[in-house]
Each structure stands twice: as structure tokens, then as C-alpha cells.
């Protein structure tokens, strides 16, 4: 039997792409879900597309620690526990450092790093009390290598890898599992966060290489695999590239 069935799973950044696909996958496997993001209309239609599923949504910006706490508190009030906290929200406005895009740098640091920390802070107390829990984050191949235009984005994903490894070292004795899901290119709405005109142009070219990226469902399968292992097994990282991706 699936070990996902009846698990209480919170997903931050569930309104599109990997978070949406993971919501659908875990719903199929019988998880009890509390999902969040900023776009209420997208969350609402996702929930409506899943009849007969134990699922609720809340609007929350991961940069707001009170809002993230409210999502976890909602799950605890409704189900008495949280088994999985999936910190998936992220943005990737790529540009050269010389463009001085200060607002975008700050946004990436706030969402990609502080968002993950806010999720960890909200879920850790209840998981320690339970002496069980699983914290998952979407990291990236960009947490392992650096590319021009992606210096800050890579910096956030390197940072998250350090934070997740620290979390593992500090909390494994409390029976808390940690997993980083580290994809290469996945076909999602993420490039919509590009504002730099050169990057938008590059994106148009890459988008014409049909079928290059992974599907969000491929990543959802990896998340489900990590959750579905026995409690004594911690899948600390899964690195997944499209077969034809070189870097």
C-alpha cells in the first residue's frame, strides 16, 4: 500500500508547474493536502479539478512568515499533524550581474531562500513534537553549477542546499527526513519571471526546441518516490535532468 495515503502534506507554491503537478500526483495517492501560493484563482481551479480529494487552499506569500505559519497552523488544526512540508515556491528572473537588477536580486533572495526558511520555521516545531516529519525543497541543478545570467539564482539554490544539509544534520535525531528535489530544465511557467529583454528573446528560441525539458509530472513522480519510502529511509537529494541536457 502507498505510504502516501492519508499523509498530511503542505505544498507552498502549488498554483502552477511542479507544485501543481505534485498536488495532483499526491491527491491520486490519497494524501490529505493543504496547498498555498499567491494566485487565488489558480489554486481555486486546481482544487475544483480534484473532486473527492481531501484538499484545502490558502493564499500565502512565502516571504511573509506569518502567512506561511498560518498555512501550517491550518493543517494542524484540521488534521492534528503535518507529515510533509514541501517548500517549492521559487522565481528565476535571469540577467547579467552588470544589469544591476537590485529588485530582482532581492526578490530571489526573499522568495527562494527566506521562503524556504519560513517554511522550515513553521513546520519544524510540530514535526519535532511528533518526532516525525519530512521537509522537502525544490532545489535545482543550478544549486550545483553556476552559469552566466544565473549568478544570483544559482546563489539562492546553493544556499538552499547548504540550509537543507544543515537541517538534516541538526534534525535527523528527531526522526525528521529531508529531501532536495534538484531538476534540470522543466517545462513550466518559471521563465515568465524573466524581465530582461535579452533573456525573453533567448527564451523564445529555447521554447522552439520542443520536448527538451522535463514535464512537471516527472518531478512530481520524484517527490512521490521520496515520500513513499519507509520512515527509516531518507532520500536526501534527487538530481533529475532531461536526458539531452548537457550541463
Residues lying near ligand NDP in the complex (CB under 6 A): 13-19, 37-39, 42, 61-63, 88-92, 111, 138, 140, 183, 185-186, 188-190
CB distance 85 to 134 below 8 Å? yes
Active site residue 153: yes
CB distance 147 to 140 below 8 Å? no
The minimum distance between CB 37 and ligand NDP, in angstroms, equals 4
Q: Is 63 or 175 the residue whose CB approaches ligand NDP more closely? A: 63
Q: Is 178 or 188 the residue whose CB approaches ligand NDP more closely? A: 188
Instruction: Write the CB contacts of 197 (distance below 8 Å, at least 6 apart in sequence).
Output: none
Q: Is 54 or 110 the residue whose CB approaches ligand NDP more closely? A: 110
Beta bridge partners of 180: 137, 237
Q: Is 3 or 109 the residue whose CB approaches ligand NDP more closely? A: 109
Phi, psi of 133 (to 5 degrees): 160, 170
CB distance 176 to 127 below 8 Å? yes
Quickly count helices (H) and strands (E) in the chain: 8, 7
Instruction: Write the CB contacts of 246 (distance below 8 Å, at least 6 apart in sequence).
Output: none
Find, among 153, 229, 233, 140, the residue nearest to 180 by Cα: 140
Any idea which residues carry the catalytic annotation? 153
Amino acid at each position: 500500500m502507498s505510504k502516501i495515503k492519508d499523509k498530511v502534506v503542505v505544498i507552498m507554491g502549488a498554483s502552477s508547474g511542479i507544485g501543481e503537478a505534485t498536488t495532483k500526483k499526491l491527491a491520486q495517492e490519497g494524501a490529505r493536502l493543504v496547498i498555498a501560493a499567491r494566485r487565488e484563482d489558480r489554486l481555486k481551479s486546481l482544487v475544483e479539478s480534484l473532486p473527492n480529494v481531501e484538499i484545502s487552499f490558502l493564499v500565502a506569500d512565502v516571504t511573509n512568515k506569518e502567512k506561511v505559519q498560518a498555512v501550517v497552523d491550518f493543517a494542524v488544526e484540521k488534521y492534528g499533524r503535518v507529515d510533509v512540508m514541501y517548500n517549492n515556491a521559487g522565481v528565476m528572473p535571469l540577467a547579467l550581474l552588470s544589469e544591476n537588477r537590485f529588485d530582482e536580486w532581492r526578490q530571489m533572495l526573499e522568495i527562494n531562500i527566506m521562503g524556504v526558511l519560513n517554511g522550515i520555521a513553521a513546520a519544524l516545531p510540530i514535526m519535532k513534537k511528533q518526532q516525525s516529519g519530512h521537509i522537502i525543497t525544490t532545489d535545482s541543478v543550478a544549486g550545483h553549477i553556476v552559469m552566466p545570467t544565473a549568478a544570483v539564482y544559482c546563489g539562492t539554490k546553493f544556499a538552499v542546499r547548504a540550509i537543507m544539509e544543515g537541517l538534516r544534520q541538526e534534525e535527523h535525531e528527531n526522526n525528521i527526513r529531508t529531501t532536495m528535489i534538484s531538476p534540470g530544465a522543466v517545462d513550466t511557467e518559471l521563465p515568465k519571471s524573466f524581465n530582461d529583454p535579452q533573456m525573453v528573446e533567448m527564451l523564445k528560441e529555447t521554447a522552439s526546441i520542443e520536448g527538451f525539458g522535463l514535464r512537471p509530472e516527472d518531478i512530481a513522480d520524484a517527490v512521490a518516490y521520496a515520500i513513499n519510502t519507509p520512515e527509516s529511509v531518507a532520500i536526501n537529494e534527487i538530481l533529475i535532468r532531461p536526458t539531452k541536457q548537457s550541463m
